[in-house]
Structure 1
Amino acid sequence: MRRELGFGVAALRRRPALEFAAWSLPEILPTAVYGIAVAHATDAFLAGRGATGLAWLGGLVAAACLGAVGARQAYRRLGDLVEPFRDELVRRVVSGALRNAGRIDGAVSRLNRQVEIVRDTFAGLIVVTRTFTITVVGVVTGLLSLDPLIAALVVPPFLLGFAASLAILGLAADRMKASLSADEQLATSAGTAFAAVRDVTATGAEDFTANLVGEPVEAHAAAERALARVAALRTLCFAVGGWLPLLILLAAGPWLVGRGVSTGTLLGGLTYVLLGLQPALSTVMSALGDGGLRYVVTLGRILDTGAPAERPASICLPRGHQVRLHKVSFAYGPQAEPVLRSLDLVVPEGDHLTVVGPSGIGKSTLAALVCGMFPPTEGRLLVGRVSPHELSPEQLARTRVLIPQEAYVFSGTVLDNLSYLAPEAPVAHVNRAIEAVGAEALVARLGGPKASIRPGQLSAGERQLIALVRSYLSPAPLAVLDEATCHLDPEAERRAEEAFSARPGTLIVVAHRISSALRARRILVLDGNEAMVGRHTTLVRESPLYRDLLGHWQPRPDQIQPAS
């Protein structure tokens, strides 16, 4: 809890915080005065001095107007305290998700719902703390001014109830952590189910999916019910701190009057309890028991997940980048049919392999496995001598580069986008990569390397060209093109693939067109039952599926990769 509170305090900017506190001071005056004004006005009216009573009430109105001015100015500065805090949270969530690439369960919930929870509760805590402090200082000052004996009867039970509400925060925090954990599990399960809704419908797996999502729904509901039970304890604390002072003051009324306390003074003390301490205690207990816990627990999860994921200390950068698969199978769920089954494959260093097969046969899944996006369900996959899933994102970035079908381009300059994976690359190297991949015309049309890019104004093919140049410059020796040229025309695709084939290292291409297979040294044919690896001429003789994929298209002799 100290870490979360310290983070919030550290996020407060000094000048807005001082201005916020300074404009809060005028509100202490009406809080301290209203009990005194009620007491003196009551005594004046009872004594027949109506003008004096009205004067006291008029003074109370004037003090309230002064406090309203202070409140208005304070609330105007609340945004200057809260919005920079929210921006810092967003930066932490996004940077944490990027550092822990491939292990970002719950990141969407943190970025959307949980950041907003922390932002809103942080603002609420600032407001409640300010109001509570103003009220308690003002009420205690007013009670002491009225009669120290009344203050002695009212303040101790009030503080006891407040202390008891603080004591149950630990239990409430545990319940809140369970609730947020259940919320993330529910978000992950529901998101998986929604993303696969067409497959679920097609395979008749509605009941299985309902059970899969139903368990986290029930767990979330149970966690919320347990959290709600804490509210009963808060009600007891409020009874001690809010109603017990009132009962004590009423019970001691005859005794106080006998000691010379006037009716107006007794009424003023009751006013301080009913209009000051009770609302303040109710508000602060609600804020700490609900919003405060949400702030501490949710911020704690954001700060925890913002740190890089821990990796085994024994894992180091692989020696070499040979890709070896031994009896590798993969399924997208415990009840799902395997997409890949018992696949054996070796891709030597320096090889150029193209993967072909019908749509949905597992080509992109194979590319994701090789790149460490997720581990095999069964079998062993090694890049060098290490499983890619065990490598840190930084080690993966130095080992392989994956270019997916949907290329990512961000707002910035052309050079920023091209050199993102090689920020130290000299301009001459960048220009050679642009020429090799065939992006000269695009870069010229955009205005050169220093020109700004608006991603929304680029076509899908233009985005792919930028991503291809970026990946070509990457220091990673293993390049995987997962239909990365599907939006290019055949000639542009040929030039890009030949550039990557001539690039030092290994190239694996998930083919969009069958012509990509003819440029490869070897071809992997996936047909769902067994895989076959070979050269074009061998596969034409031995693979019916490969012959079907070729159809009636007959390549020219110069299009076929010669044996080496």
Structure 2
Amino acid sequence: MTADPATTDPETAAPTVTDAAGTDRAGTDRAGTDPAPVDPASADFGASARLPVAGPRQVRSAARDLVRGGGRTLVAAVLLSVLATVAGLVGPWLVGRIINTVRAGGGVADVDRYALTILVCVLAQFLLTRYARLLAYRVGERASARIRERLVDRALALPTATVERAGAGDLTARGTTDVAAVGTTLRDAGPAIFIAGLEVLFIVGAVLVLAPPLGVVGLLGLTGIWFAARWYLRRARTAYLAQGDADSVLAEVLSATATGARTVEAFGLQERRIAVCEEAVEESRRTRIRTLFLRSVLFPAVDVSYVVPVVGVLLAGSLLHGHGAVSLGTVVTCALYMRQLSQPLDEILQYLDQLQGTGASFARVEGVGAGDTGPVDGAAGPVPADDRIEVSGVRYAYDGGRDVLRGVDLAVRPGERLAVVGPSGAGKSTLGRLLAGIDRPREGAVTVGRVPIAELGPDELRRQVVLVTQEHHVFIDTVRDNLLIAAPGASDDEVRAALAAVGADWVDGLPAGLDTLLGAGEEAVDGARAQQLALARVVLADPHTIVLDEATALLDPASARHAERALAAVLAGRTVIAIAHRLHTARDADRVAVMDDGRLTELGTHDALVARGGAYVELWHTWHGPPSPPSREPSPPPSPAG
């Protein structure tokens, strides 16, 4: 199921269903206050808190798990690579034998026999290497698939609050660019580096066996590569992580600018948004120049270092041959081996740059879900004893800021209709998010049936509490799959019953009924219909408690009337906690909770609070106006017929 939104009416909005599984995002601001007008000129489109990045130890552990997952296919690839490497060593050794045979007066037949053997070994090396890489590619593709599946599982298990703070750009960049980079490396670079590494090991070993002094000289000649690589590796990981982070910021800024295009146009913010985008582009360019500089130092140093061991072996070999310590054929063989060493080393070092970028990408991919102790979908967890919701001594602050909830205590009785009211910024929506398990309190507890709501698994939470807000989300998928989000095991009859409960009879008129695709290029869904789908999800989830955060506040009057009728069907027989930014719903509630500056200041029925004459009365008069003063005009005389 893709996460692209379907086409909706931009002039309307409708409720969304939000639960701990992250079905959709809740409509509340970052400051932890109730929605309030925001100055578009100062709005920070794209501001977010980055998701964590896995440390080197975690990356190494994940890489080992991927290698172990290769199984027999990986073992076969290793064996074939060893055979291919051995076949590649035969050629230079036979060249040395040919030279010694010619110097000893051997015939053409001997040379032809050696030449034919070289040809067979070259062909064998080609075939073995090709098949070994084919098997390694299979291992890489399977590992890449496991990485993608694990990333999706972790992303879906992230708490909604984490996703909201990270922003879509960071998660999107990790799920696309970073995963693609890791997959490409596993498929291409991994097998190539592995085979090249075996070749280096065997070639160096062969030189040390044939002529230990020449082998030592060759190894000393390779120290330049070691110093250059060490210099590069000490700087590359940090540079590539910075590049990945800059790319995430750029993606987030561009995404947020496109999403807020109407606001940008309405308030004339084009120049400001262009400046923000240019700043993000410049930072991305700067980080890329840094990684390019590292490569421009590494590769020339390596190219020079390839020549040094060959020259060293030839010079040392000529001295040893002059003293009769080694044969001419051995010197030529060792020189050819050292020259042959440049090919696998060059392949390793060429991929070394890609590995650094991939390592950073892998750390970012593995960082999704790192340190997150939220429940995993499907995991067994505590089961509430009953439907009673209690808030005890709750304090909450956003991102280390000041507390927006300060010692809130509240008990909601099963089946009760509770309205939570208060001025803008009082903490109403923040309380709603805690009641829905989206956020965790900094202090205190929010429980259902004496179990902390935030510790419930997503499946269990859906059966307990669901948040319905002003926003909505329709996925590009069939009507059926859009609804099965809330209840994966629901039958078609149950899906149709949920649609009927919210008055969504229009589904029967769609070309393919429940199998009709919704979204861009398919069946368009306006705000009212998207809202009905969101409410049908609530019916399927069948929670005992629903938290309403002004679910119909942004709808036009006609759509709002339809929404309220659909809501009435959904709310029947359930506990309802209504975050009331407008007070017309408070009069009909069983009780009203008044919030002010993060505290619960009053609690009681509408009539009792009005009679008390406290903060609720002031809110009520602000919304409905002060009571009319008594009339001072004299009463009209009674009519004659009276």
Normalized against structure 1, the TM-score is what?
A: 0.68
Cα distance change, pair 125–243 in 1 and its aligned pair in 2 (3 A): same
Cα distance change, pair 220–139 in 1 and its aligned pair in 2 (3 A): same
Q: Contact 1:95–1:306 at 8 Å: present in 2 too?
A: no
**Pair 1:502-2:560 in alignment:** no
**Pair 1:7-2:62 in alignment:** yes
User: Which of 192, 199, 202 is the matching residue for 2:256?
Assistant: 192
Structure 2 match to 1:293: 356
- List aligned pairs for 1:55-70, cutoff 5 A: 55-70=113-128
User: Which of 519, 530, 537 is the matching residue for 1:470?
Assistant: 537
Deviation at 1:483, TM superposition (A): 8.4
* 1:227 partner SS: helix
Q: In structure 1, how many angstroms separate the alpha carbons of the residues matched to 2:87 and 2:301?
A: 27
Q: Contact 1:409–1:463 at 8 Å: present in 2 too?
A: no
Q: In structure 2, how many angstroms separate the alpha carbons of the residues matched to 1:538 and 1:133?
A: 79
Q: Contact 1:165–1:234 at 8 Å: present in 2 too?
A: yes
Structure 1 match to 2:468: 401
Cα distance change, pair 391–294 in 1 and its aligned pair in 2 (3 A): same
Structure 2 match to 1:242: 306
Q: Deviations over 1:141-186 (max 9, x none)?
A: 4424543332232134336734762464132211121121112112
Q: Contact 2:95–2:333 at 8 Å: present in 1 too?
A: yes
Q: Contact 2:98–2:111 at 8 Å: present in 1 too?
A: yes
* 2:537 partner SS: helix
Q: Contact 1:31–1:134 at 8 Å: present in 2 too?
A: no
- List aligned pairs for 1:389-538, cutoff 5 A: 390-391=439-440, 394=454, 398=465, 400-402=467-469, 404-408=471-475, 418=483, 420-421=485-486, 436-438=501-503, 453=515, 455-456=517-518, 460=525, 465-472=532-539, 473-480=542-549, 481=551, 495-504=565-574, 505-506=576-577
Structure 2 match to 1:340: none
User: Which of 121, 132, 139 is the matching residue for 1:81?
Assistant: 139
- Unmatched runs of 5 consecutive residues or more in structure 1: 312-316, 322-347, 354-369, 371-375, 512-516, 523-531, 543-564
**Pair 1:38-2:95 in alignment:** yes
Cα distance change, pair 259–453 in 1 and its aligned pair in 2 (3 A): farther
Q: Which amino acid aligns with 2:78?
A: A
Q: In structure 2, how many angstroms separate the alpha carbons of the residues matched to 1:70 and 1:202?
A: 65
* 1:478 partner SS: strand
Q: In structure 1, how many angstroms separate the alpha carbons of the residues matched to 2:548 and 2:573?
A: 9
Q: In structure 2, how many angstroms separate the alpha carbons of the residues matched to 1:55 and 1:132?
A: 29
Q: Contact 1:401–1:474 at 8 Å: present in 2 too?
A: no
Structure 2 match to 1:381: 427
Q: In structure 2, how many angstroms separate the alpha carbons of the residues matched to 1:27 and 1:280?
A: 13
Q: In structure 2, how many angstroms separate the alpha carbons of the residues matched to 1:302 and 1:434?
A: 38
Q: Contact 1:399–1:476 at 8 Å: present in 2 too?
A: yes
Deviation at 1:115, TM superposition (A): 0.4
Cα distance change, pair 287–88 in 1 and its aligned pair in 2 (3 A): same
Q: Contact 2:203–2:337 at 8 Å: present in 1 too?
A: yes
Structure 2 match to 1:307: 370
**Pair 1:269-2:334 in alignment:** yes
**Pair 1:103-2:168 in alignment:** no
- Structure with the bigger RCO (C-alpha within 8 Å, sep 6+) is 2
Q: Alignment identity in percent? A: 18
Q: Contact 1:421–1:474 at 8 Å: present in 2 too?
A: no
Q: Which amino acid aligns with 1:249?
A: V
Q: Contact 1:439–1:465 at 8 Å: present in 2 too?
A: yes
Q: Deviations over 1:229-252 (max 9, x none)?
A: 323552476267523212212332
Q: In structure 2, how many angstroms separate the alpha carbons of the residues matched to 1:123 and 1:432?
A: 48
User: Which of 154, 157, 177 is the matching residue for 1:113?
Assistant: 177
Q: Contact 1:400–1:479 at 8 Å: present in 2 too?
A: yes
**Pair 1:91-2:158 in alignment:** no
Q: Contact 1:97–1:104 at 8 Å: present in 2 too?
A: no
Q: Deviations over 1:388-410 (max 9, x none)?
A: 58448958973623474543486
Q: Which amino acid aligns with 1:8?
A: A
Q: In structure 1, how many angstroms separate the alpha carbons of the residues matched to 2:430 and 2:294?
A: 54
Q: In structure 2, how many angstroms separate the alpha carbons of the residues matched to 1:230 and 1:304?
A: 25
Q: In structure 1, how many angstroms separate the alpha carbons of the residues matched to 2:454 and 2:508?
A: 29
Q: In structure 1, how many angstroms separate the alpha carbons of the residues matched to 2:94 and 2:553?
A: 79
User: Considering only aligned residues, what root-mean-square deviation do their CA atoms show, in Å?
Assistant: 4.7
Q: Deviations over 1:526-558 (max 9, x none)?
A: xxxxxx9989x979x99xxxxxxxxxxxxxxxx
Cα distance change, pair 39–381 in 1 and its aligned pair in 2 (3 A): same
Structure 1 match to 2:417: 350
Q: Deviations over 1:405-434 (max 9, x none)?
A: 54348669x5x8656446799999989756
Matched residues, number: 466
Cα distance change, pair 474–27 in 1 and its aligned pair in 2 (3 A): same
Structure 1 match to 2:602: none
Cα distance change, pair 125–303 in 1 and its aligned pair in 2 (3 A): same
* 2:425 partner SS: strand
Q: Deviations over 1:32-51 (max 9, x none)?
A: 11211222233445657343
Q: In structure 2, how many angstroms separate the alpha carbons of the residues matched to 1:231 and 1:430?
A: 57
* 1:307 partner SS: coil
* 1:479 partner SS: strand
Q: Contact 1:16–1:81 at 8 Å: present in 2 too?
A: yes
Q: Which amino acid aligns with 2:417?
A: G
Q: Contact 2:197–2:348 at 8 Å: present in 1 too?
A: no
Q: Contact 1:477–1:506 at 8 Å: present in 2 too?
A: yes
Q: Contact 1:28–1:137 at 8 Å: present in 2 too?
A: no
* 1:306 partner SS: coil
**Pair 1:281-2:345 in alignment:** yes
Segment drifting more, 221-230 vs 64-73: 221-230
User: Which of 212, 217, 229 is the matching residue for 2:293?
Assistant: 229
Q: In structure 2, how many angstroms separate the alpha carbons of the residues matched to 1:236 and 1:483?
A: 65
Q: Contact 2:133–2:192 at 8 Å: present in 1 too?
A: no
Deviation at 1:208, TM superposition (A): 1.3
User: Which of 15, 19, 25 is the matching residue for 2:82?
Assistant: 25
Structure 1 match to 2:600: none
Segment drifting more, 490-499 vs 125-134: 490-499
**Pair 1:259-2:259 in alignment:** no
Structure 2 match to 1:553: none
Q: In structure 1, how many angstroms separate the alpha carbons of the residues matched to 2:344 and 2:430?
A: 65
Cα distance change, pair 158–231 in 1 and its aligned pair in 2 (3 A): same
* 1:407 partner SS: coil
Normalized against structure 2, the TM-score is what?
A: 0.60
**Pair 1:132-2:196 in alignment:** yes
Q: In structure 1, how many angstroms separate the alpha carbons of the residues matched to 2:60 and 2:309?
A: 31
